[in-house]
Amino acid sequence: MPEIGLSRSVSTITISPLRTEDIEAVAKLHAAELQYSFNSRIGPKHLACVYRAMLSQPDSFVGVAMDAGVPVGIVSGSMDARTLKPLILRSLGLRGKLRMIGGLLFKPSAFFTLLEEIKSRPPVKAGNQEVNACLTTIAVASSHRRMGLAARLVTSLEDFFRARGVSHYWLDTIAENSGARTFYQKQGFVEVATHGKTVVFLKQLRLD
């Protein structure tokens, strides 16, 4: 990550939907701040394809925190987590698929992370209802943490969900990410399941 010599005044940091021209910078931010995810392990070029695909999906949202024109935080989510991965895979094109296969062959950590991420799990439920909406990514540049940016990013995703009538959404994180777990609890999420090294959180949205 290049040094971010920025103002650090929270009031000047804006949160807005991802723009095409910021995709590469956002992919680099994601790769730098969320190193353990499968997509990060494949690399920023792959991540840029993922964000490009999400941008073209009306059921997906990517929010970006911008400080003086530089992305310093990201959140992404989808109305239906089950359909998102196949949609992204289809949109990759031959080059993107070859990049992914190369990553899987030459980066064993990526291979094992993928195995963990695609393991079959019971659906997340609120009462008897299956919950499909999902937060897929959140990360803030280490230079900009504990300024309330992630909380603002979550609000932007929730505005997107509320406008579409979503009453609950879920996310998961690795159990050892204690900072993220505390953050999610502060945002009103409740831990509802543990699968191996992964913890699942659920949040109910007020729709009034």
Ligand X SMILES: CC(C)(COP(=O)(O)OP(=O)(O)OC[C@H]1O[C@@H](n2cnc3c(N)ncnc32)[C@H](O)[C@@H]1OP(=O)(O)O)[C@@H](O)C(=O)NCCC(=O)NCCS
Beta bridge partners, 40, equal: none
Q: By rule CB under 6 A, what string of x and - marks binding of each residue 17-46 to ligand X?
A: ----------------xx------------
Contacts of 188 (CB under 8 A, 6+ apart): 203, 204
Least Å distance between CB 93 and ligand X? Answer: 28
Least Å distance between CB 105 and ligand X? Answer: 26
The reply to whether 125 sits near ligand X by the rule CB under 6 A is no
d(CA 173, CA 54): 20
The reply to whether 155 sits near ligand X by the rule CB under 6 A is no
Beta bridge partners, 199, equal: 173, 194
The reply to whether 14 sits near ligand X by the rule CB under 6 A is no
Interface residue with ligand X among 16, 182, 194, 204 (CB under 6 A) is: 182
The reply to whether 47 sits near ligand X by the rule CB under 6 A is no
Distances (CA, A) of 95 to 43, 55, 100, 163: 14, 19, 9, 36
Interface residue with ligand X among 169, 183, 189, 201 (CB under 6 A) is: 183
Residue 38 tokens read as: 């499968």
Least Å distance between CB 12 and ligand X? Answer: 16
Helix (H, G, I), strand (E, B) or coil at 39: helix
Burial class from Cβ neighbours inside 10 Å (0-12, 13-18, 19+) for residue 122 reads: exposed
Q: How far is CA 158 from the centre of its chain?
A: 13
* Sole window of 6-14, 24-32, 140-148, 158-166 interacting with ligand X (rule: CB under 6 A): 140-148
d(CA 203, CA 170): 6
The reply to whether 151 sits near ligand X by the rule CB under 6 A is yes
* Sole window of 18-26, 54-62, 80-88, 179-187 interacting with ligand X (rule: CB under 6 A): 179-187
Binding residues vs ligand X (CB under 6 A): 33-34, 138-140, 145-151, 173, 177, 179-180, 182-183, 186
